[in-house]
Structure 1
Amino acid sequence: MTRLTLPALGLCLALPLPALALDLESMSDVERGLFRAEVRAFLLENPEVIMEAVAVLEEREKAAKELADVELVRANLDELLNDGHSWEGGNPDGDLVLVEFIDYRCGYCRRAHNEVEQLIEMDGNIRFIVKEFPILGQESELSSRFAIATHQLAGDEAYKSAHDALITFKGQVNDTSLLRIAETLGLEGQSILDHMQSDAVTKVIAENHSLAGRLQISGTPSFVMGERMLRGYLPLDGMMQIAEAIRAN
């Protein structure tokens, strides 16, 4: 009886699947049984091989997902960068664009807020775009409608003030609290509330939800940096590293 050595078995395991299938088909039942026994014995003696194979598979799946995300971003790039209604900050002529899909009631969005601000300030060469994407209920919807209405009626600076106030607000969001926020910011609160349910505001939210759907975004915060999709919260150091990697390529 010929027994496969571990190196020989490793060579068999490394064969492309079609080649391995052909070899197995040419084996007799006895040879196939022996081969399967050898594989089982090898894996039992070397279980780390399974973990190595899983790690390789996960890396391949990650790479495939990242490539698919790049294609999604490229297909929707114009709406991401030039929709005509999203607030923009940072450096308008920056060499890198960061887009954030945000929900004001999202804990991780709140956590990311200061870190995104730091990134933009420290880097100095990032164009930043905010997409209002309320997904966590009525208070999220009211918050985004207030921010968008403020933007449409009072402009960029007023939007930024409202945005910062909403992302840090800890109370219940309703007409009364929104009027207080508006008063604190020196805005015409009742005019903003009256505009919140307008078709113009509804259209912005609908378009952002449609864009998110095409990008397969279902949670917040979600970012697009360059052509890369960053799904979920990422600490400042991580965002800085990705920005550096994008520029290096």
Structure 2
Amino acid sequence: MKTLLAGAALILAGSMSGMALSGEGFVAAVPSKSAVPPTAEADIEATKRAFLDDAVAPQVKPANYDVTIVEYADYQCPYCRTAHDALVKLAATDKKVRIIFRDWPIFGPQSQRAARLAIASQWQGKFLAYQDALMKTPRPLTEESIRAAAAKAGVDWTKLEADLKRRQPEIEALLDRNDNQAMQLGLEGTPGFIIGDRLYSGGMNLAGLKEAVAQVRKSGGKKGLVPVTPQGI
């Protein structure tokens, strides 16, 4: 990943070559397409694919989505739990938003355990249910509460353990990618979001998510990256 990125300025930025400071934050400067060498454009497209196209990262993907949200989260993070409720409501009401869930377990061993199991649960079609149950399980997570959340979500524990073992290389590689991406984005904690071509660091409520999605649609796909720190929840 580090070889693809020259800092957050490249991420999702289309054909750009630098960063300029404005009153709203760091805004990517976008030259004409002809000013960008073909090799640079290829690197940028590869970077975009690395963040937005991942065969292992669980996601909600409507057929005709027009906005993508990438979330970096930990099951024991209180702000992630609030944002989770907002994301669930957004997905239920806006059928044109794709959500990519990137587990970034930074709250210790039980967060790591929960993340691995949640990712593994997708191979029995239970990720969303298990994710929801984990987000609603009292903190701190324990082995017992993680397993209880699986039962609540209707997860077959025997199959889950088998998938966790069989898919271990894929799961570990995904967690490594998620961690590398979060570091490249400059995230200092969870949650973090890429919404369209903007980076949001910090908790977001439903109103904030809707506003961010509306801004992406209003921009009509305008290229650039604007790191934004929300005003809390």
TM-score under structure 2 length normalisation: 0.70
1:239 aligned partner: 209
Separation in 2, partners of 1:90, 1:116: 13
2:48 aligned partner: 77
| Residue identity matched to 2:141 | V
- More displaced, 140-149 or 173-182? 173-182
Q: CA deviation at 1:186?
A: 3.1
Secondary structure of the structure 2 residue equivalent to 1:130: strand
Instruction: Write out aligned runs for 1:89-168 (5 A).
Output: 89-152=60-123, 154-155=124-125, 158-168=126-136
2:189 aligned partner: 219
- More displaced, 226-235 or 175-184? 175-184
Q: Counting helix residues as a fraction of each chain, which structure ranks higher?
A: 1
| Residue identity matched to 2:131 | H
2:154 aligned partner: 186
Query: Matched residue pairs, number?
Result: 185
Q: Identity of paired residues, percent?
A: 26
**Structure 1 unaligned spans of 5+:** 1-58
* Cα 1:178–1:224 shift into 2, 3 Å: same
* Cα 1:165–1:78 shift into 2, 3 Å: same
Separation in 1, partners of 2:152, 2:204: 31
Q: Is the 8 A contact 1:142 1:174 kept in 2?
A: no
Separation in 2, partners of 1:215, 1:75: 16
Indicate which of 28, 53, 67 corresponds to 1:67: 28
TM-score under structure 1 length normalisation: 0.66
Q: CA deviation at 1:234?
A: 2.0
Q: Is the 8 A contact 2:77 2:107 kept in 1?
A: yes
Which structure exhibits the higher relative contact order, with contacts defined as CA atoms closer than 8 Å and separated by 6 or more residues?
2
* Cα 1:243–1:185 shift into 2, 3 Å: closer
* Cα 1:92–1:167 shift into 2, 3 Å: farther
Q: CA deviation at 1:137?
A: 1.0
**Structure 2 unaligned spans of 5+:** 1-20, 30-43, 220-233
Q: Counting strand residues as a fraction of each chain, which structure ranks higher?
A: 2
Separation in 2, partners of 1:189, 1:246: 40
Q: CA deviation at 1:79?
A: 1.5
The higher radius of gyration belongs to: 1
Q: Tell me how large the CA RMSD over aligned residues is.
A: 2.6
Separation in 2, partners of 1:229, 1:145: 25
